[in-house]
């Protein structure tokens, strides 16, 4: 299966070392045109270095960058058709909003009429109509962010790079800007490469998330893939809250994997791999995927448990459940709806889940 026709950039086996430390280690991936791709990971995972390599600010130690079919590995930033929105926006303080946006167009040798038209179009598009003649210090954080976006979009780049551009905004504004940014990406049809350490930001906006850790890709998939079918413990723990369940594989049953978890038999799914019988595995089960029942549901292999801890959180109650009758480690975290919470007597309940939601991690 080849996506070559749609591939806008191919990061080919790219390694970037600073001294002896490999910031990015053998990264190999293709980004499709029109995708909103997010590199997600903790600080030092190599996400920003990858972005800077794409922008031309770092030259990789090994590997190549193929942009729209051409090798740009060693091209300086001014000679590749890629633009970046910087974390601090990097608006030129001595220029007005209009001059900032026009900067890249002037350097591309556009005529005055073309520059005027494009600037006007972008100001309109990003709702900056009245701000053309203001200087950056007369703008709010959200407005500066939009000017930075307009300036980067102006030269019509093949790839728009965004380096944690929401970090400087307050929490309330950030949620709004996330929606705006996704909307702008859809309307322009541009390929956005976004870098963040904020998993919520990544889940909200991306078509595809690449989780990085220690310079390598941990998992590459849709937000749903990553959330419900994490492949590694790192991804399961980094994104959202989850139950990590360790047990021994007892065998296959009706296409699902039977696991002995501290004496309790449970069913799970191995997405795309086959754990061998007798091996120790860890599985991830999201809190919201644990279904709690006040009475034992009919025709199901629900297991009995006891609520050992309750935390009221408004719209739902977070509970710790001790499952089965043996074992210290058989603890499960889950959420209760207000209705269920009131119907549970003596803290006794039954839990089950959709088998595909108990995702067995690789290694």
For residue 240, give the 3-state DSSP assignment.
coil
CB of 147: closest distance to another protein in angstroms?
11
Q: Smallest distance from the beta carbon of 161 to another protein, in angstroms?
A: 9
Nearest C-alpha neighbor of 363 from the set 279, 298, 263, 287: 279
User: Residue 159 or 303: which CB sits closer to another protein?
Assistant: 159
Q: Least distance to another protein from the beta carbon of 226, Å?
A: 30
Nearer residue to another protein within complex by CB, 108 or 186: 108
State how far the Cα of 219 lies from the Cα of 234, in Å rounded to an integer: 9
Please identify, using beta-carbon distances, which residue of 92 and 312 lies nearer to another protein: 92
CB of 149 to another protein, least distance (A): 13
Pairing label, strands 256-261, 264-268 = antiparallel
Q: What is the nearest approach in angstroms of another protein to the Cβ of residue 102?
A: 10
Helix, strand, coil % over all residues of the chain, rounded to 5: 30, 35, 35
Question: How near is the Cβ of 212 to another protein at its closest, in Å?
Answer: 22
How far is 183 from 126, CA to CA, in rounded Å? 11
Q: Which is nearer to another protein, 76 or 327 (CB)?
A: 76
Query: Pairing between strand 208-213 and 216-221?
Result: antiparallel
Q: Which is nearer to another protein, 90 or 331 (CB)?
A: 90
Side-chain half-sphere exposure of 338, counting CA atoms within 13 A: 3
Closest to another protein by CB, 153 or 351: 153
DSSP H helical ranges for the chain = 47-55, 97-107, 112-125, 141-153, 171-188, 199-205, 223-228, 233-238, 338-343
- Helix (H) / strand (E) element for 313: namely none
Task: Give residues in contact with another protein (CB under 8 A).
Answer: 55-57, 76-78, 82-84, 86-88, 90-94, 103-104, 107-108, 135-137, 151-152, 155
Which one, 168 or 287, has the nearer CB to another protein?
Answer: 168
Minimum distance from residue 148 beta carbon to another protein (Å): 8
Q: Which of 243, 238, 293 shows the shortest CA–CA distance to 266?
A: 243
């Amino acid at each position: 299966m080849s996506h070559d026709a749609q591939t806008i950039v191919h990061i080919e086996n790219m390694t970037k070392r600073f001294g002896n430390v490999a910031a990015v280690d053998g990264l190999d991936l293709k980004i499709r045109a029109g995708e909103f791709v997010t590199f997600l990971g903790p600080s030092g995972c190599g996400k920003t270095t990858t972005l800077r390599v794409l922008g031309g600010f770092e030259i990789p130690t090994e590997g190549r960058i193929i942009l729209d079919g051409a090798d740009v590995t060693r091209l300086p930033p001014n000679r590749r058709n890629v633009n970046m929105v910087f974390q601090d926006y990097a608006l030129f303080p001595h220029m007005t909003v209009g001059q900032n946006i026009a900067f890249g167009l002037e350097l591309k040798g556009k005529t005055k009429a073309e520059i005027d038209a494009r600037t006007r179009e972008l100001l309109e598009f990003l709702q900056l109509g009245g701000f053309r003649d203001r200087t950056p210090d007369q703008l709010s954080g959200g407005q500066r962010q939009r000017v930075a976006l307009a300036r980067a979009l102006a030269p019509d780049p093949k790839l728009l790079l965004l380096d944690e551009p929401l970090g400087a905004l307050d929490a309330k504004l950030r949620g709004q800007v996330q929606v705006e940014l996704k909307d702008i990406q859809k309307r322009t049809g541009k390929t956005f490469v976004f870098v963040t350490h904020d998993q919520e930001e990544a889940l909200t906006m991306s078509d595809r998330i690449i989780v990085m850790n220690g310079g390598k890709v941990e998992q590459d998939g849709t937000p749903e893939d990553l959330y419900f079918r994490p492949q590694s413990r790192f991804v399961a723990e980094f994104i959202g809250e989850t139950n990590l369940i360790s047990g021994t594989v007892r065998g296959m049953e009706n296409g699902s994997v039977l696991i002995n978890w501290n004496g309790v038999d449970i069913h799970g799914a191995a997405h795309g791999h086959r754990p061998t019988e007798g091996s120790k595995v860890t599985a991830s089960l999201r809190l919201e995927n644990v279904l709690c029942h006040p009475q034992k549901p009919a025709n199901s292999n629900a297991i009995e448990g006891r609520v050992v801890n309750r935390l009221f959180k408004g719209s739902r109650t977070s509970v710790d459940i001790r499952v089965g009758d043996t074992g210290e480690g058989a603890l499960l975290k889950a959420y209760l709806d207000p209705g269920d919470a009131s119907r549970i007597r003596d803290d006794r309940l039954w839990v089950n889940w959709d088998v595909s939601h108990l995702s067995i991690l690789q290694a």
